[in-house]
């Protein structure tokens, strides 16, 4: 039962933890094998914090609704089947491995051939045809963690994925992607101090092919080379039917735990995407660069009866820029900044039963500049977030319930944007802006139950978040359910 309580705790931490470097930016894949480790540092993988030996999991995600950005599909169905193992070798080497297959369906995804939007990135390849995407992919994640001494450990985390995405509607884009992510890490575990450093090197490649097409075929293909804010720069007529995008990046993250009282985490990453056209009508393409920086500080106090209370503050910065293909000038710039501070207070009713309430306040702003046309969008936002967690560990089953509430707070900060006209402005930019300007309320619930089964454990998880704009009946939901068979 201790093991199970620990397992539930780990799951809860995954959910509750504000992992600062856990943003799924380039690939929409959960590499949750390190999620429970401090700072997601693989060198912290050792005997005391592995959640289980083996597990087989199935997860189903269902996102959809009317209240969405123009690029977001009306429905996204995501299924993931994975096998995970943690093993300790004789010489102290720890091994963790995860193999997963995933299948994705995206319905009514407009304007883009890319499955992912690549946040803030101004370069797209697309047309206005609607259609459904299908994706099949597999990914591996291996971690080797080795003790250098009684307190120091080194580790290597290797992630590799391959997937293929296709759309059946003309011009039938086919996207083949593969990615490699290597994270060497070092960790120190002292009696009242532990810290770690993790490096990050990755390359994600995406090769896209479409049917060759011209405007005269009565279609409406558009080759969006560089997307400005309001008027995309377009090349009409024949398009290149091949494009290779390669995203290379490196980063570093660090985490520090001072006696369980002060916890610090920081993360920095710089990535660069090079885009090259192939095919019959290659066009010089621009490149983009992205910097991400985050840090988080938490003060914790552990009461003998109440549990862990926490005061936390975190900050995120994402800064992107787009470069003109031939003029060697920055033509696009964006940033996203966010600050969040909050407090988490627990109440332990009995040894196996506890409540935790968290209140936090988020301030964020988003700025996009089109240096080419001299256009601007600036959208500030404030959000109040509340969370309530109830945990109960019984003799036969563990139970956890999580209720979340969040609401945009309109405090009258000025939204600045340049209004334009034209089809693309109306279809994309104006719709995107209207979405950003709308205040929303989010209501979410999550339930986790773990029960013994044939001498093993079965863990169920279900969550539902409903996003409700304050000025319309349109809705968007994120629903997820999963089951794990744990050895």
Contacts with other proteins by CB under 8 A lie at 214-216, 225, 233-237, 258-259, 261-262, 295, 297, 299, 301, 311, 313, 315, 317, 324, 326-327, 329, 331, 333, 337, 339, 365, 367, 369-376, 378, 414, 416, 418
Task: Report the nearest approach of other proteins to the CB of residue 483 (Å).
Answer: 40
Least separation, in Å, of the C-beta of 341 and other proteins?
A: 8
- Please tell me the distance from the alpha carbon of residue 400 to that of residue 408, in angstroms, as a whole number: 27
SS3 357: strand
Give whichever of 169 and 193 is closer to other proteins, judged by the CB atom. Answer: 193
Output 18-21 pairs: Cβ under 8 A, ≥24 positions apart. 18/296, 18/312, 18/314, 18/340, 20/253, 20/265, 20/266, 20/267, 20/294, 20/295, 20/296, 20/314, 20/316, 21/251, 21/253, 21/265, 21/267, 21/269, 21/294
Looking at the Cβ atoms of 150 and 326, the one nearer to other proteins is 326
> Please, which residue, 138 or 416, has the CB nearer to other proteins?
416
3-state percent breakdown (helix, strand, coil) of the chain, nearest 5: 10, 60, 30
Nearer to other proteins (CB atom), residue 264 or residue 431? 264
β-strand 440-453 against 307-323: which pairing, if any? unpaired
Q: Is 161 left (phi over 0), alpha (psi -120 to 50) or beta?
A: beta
Q: Where are the beta strands (DSSP E) in 190-258?
A: 193-209, 221-226, 233-235, 242-258
Nearer to other proteins, 301 or 392 (CB): 301
- Residue closer to other proteins (CB basis): 411 or 414: 414
CB of 313 to other proteins, least distance (A): 6
Q: Which is nearer to other proteins, 27 or 323 (CB)?
A: 323
To other proteins, the closest distance from the beta carbon of 295 in angstroms equals: 7
d(CA 44, CA 86): 13
**Taking a C-beta distance cutoff of 8 angstroms, is the pair 299, 257 a contact?**
no
- Output the smallest distance, CB 326 to other proteins, in A: 6
Least distance between other proteins and beta carbon 114 (Å) = 21
Q: How far is the CB of 35 from other proteins (least distance, A)?
A: 24
Assigned token pair, 480: 């997820």
Chain centroid offset of residue 228 CA: 24
């Amino acid at each position: 039962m201790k093991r199970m309580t620990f397992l539930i705790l780990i799951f809860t931490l995954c959910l509750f933890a504000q992992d600062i470097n856990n943003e799924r930016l380039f690939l929409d894949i959960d590499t949750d094998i390190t999620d429970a480790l401090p700072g997601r540092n693989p060198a912290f993988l050792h005997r005391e914090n592995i959640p289980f030996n083996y597990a087989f999991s199935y997860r189903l995600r269902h996102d959809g609704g009317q209240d969405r950005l123009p690029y977001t599909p009306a429905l996204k169905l995501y299924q993931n089947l994975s096998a995970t193992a943690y093993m300790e070798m004789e010489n102290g080497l720890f091994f963790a491995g995860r193999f997963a297959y995933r299948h994705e369906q995206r319905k009514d995804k407009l304007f883009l051939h890319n499955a992912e939007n690549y946040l803030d990135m101004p370069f797209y390849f697309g047309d206005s045809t609607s259609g459904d995407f299908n994706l099949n992919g597999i990914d591996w994640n291996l971690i080797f963690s080795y003790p250098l001494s009684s307190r120091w450990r080194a580790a290597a985390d290797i992630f590799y994925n391959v997937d293929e995405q296709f759309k059946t509607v003309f011009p039938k884009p086919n996207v083949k992607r593969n990615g490699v992510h290597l994270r060497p890490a070092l960790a120190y575990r002292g009696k009242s101090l532990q810290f770690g450093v993790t490096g990050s090197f990755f390359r994600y490649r995406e090769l896209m092919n479409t049917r060759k097409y011209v405007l005269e075929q009565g279609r409406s293909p558009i080759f969006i080379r560089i997307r400005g804010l309001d008027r995309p720069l377009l090349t009409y007529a024949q398009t290149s039917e091949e494009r290779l995008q390669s995203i290379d990046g490196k980063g570093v993250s660090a985490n520090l735990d001072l006696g369980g009282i002060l916890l610090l985490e920081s993360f920095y990453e710089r990535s660069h995407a090079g885009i090259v056209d192939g095919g019959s009508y290659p066009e010089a393409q621009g490149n983009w660069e992205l910097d991400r920086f985050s840090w988080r500080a938490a003060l914790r106090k552990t009461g003998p009866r109440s549990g862990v209370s926490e005061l936390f503050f975190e900050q995120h910065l994402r800064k992107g820029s787009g470069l003109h293909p031939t003029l060697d000038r920055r033509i696009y710039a964006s940033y996203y900044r966010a600050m969040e501070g909050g407090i988490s207070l627990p109440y332990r009713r009995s040894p196996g039963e506890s409540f935790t309430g968290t209140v936090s306040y988020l301030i964020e702003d988003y700025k996009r500049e089109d240096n080419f046309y001299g256009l601007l969008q600036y959208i500030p936002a404030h959000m109040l977030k509340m969370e309530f967690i109830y945990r109960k560990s019984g003799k036969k089953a563990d139970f956890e319930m999580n209720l979340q509430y969040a609401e945009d707070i309109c405090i009258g900060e000025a939204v600045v944007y340049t209004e334009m006209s034209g089809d693309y402005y109306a279809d994309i930019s104006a719709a995107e802006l209207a979405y950003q300007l709308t205040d929303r309320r989010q209501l979410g619930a999550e339930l986790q139950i773990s029960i013994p089964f044939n001498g093993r454990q079965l863990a169920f998880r279900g969550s539902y978040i409903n996003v409700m704009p304050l000025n319309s009946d349109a809705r968007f939901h994120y629903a997820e359910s999963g089951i794990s068979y744990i050895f």
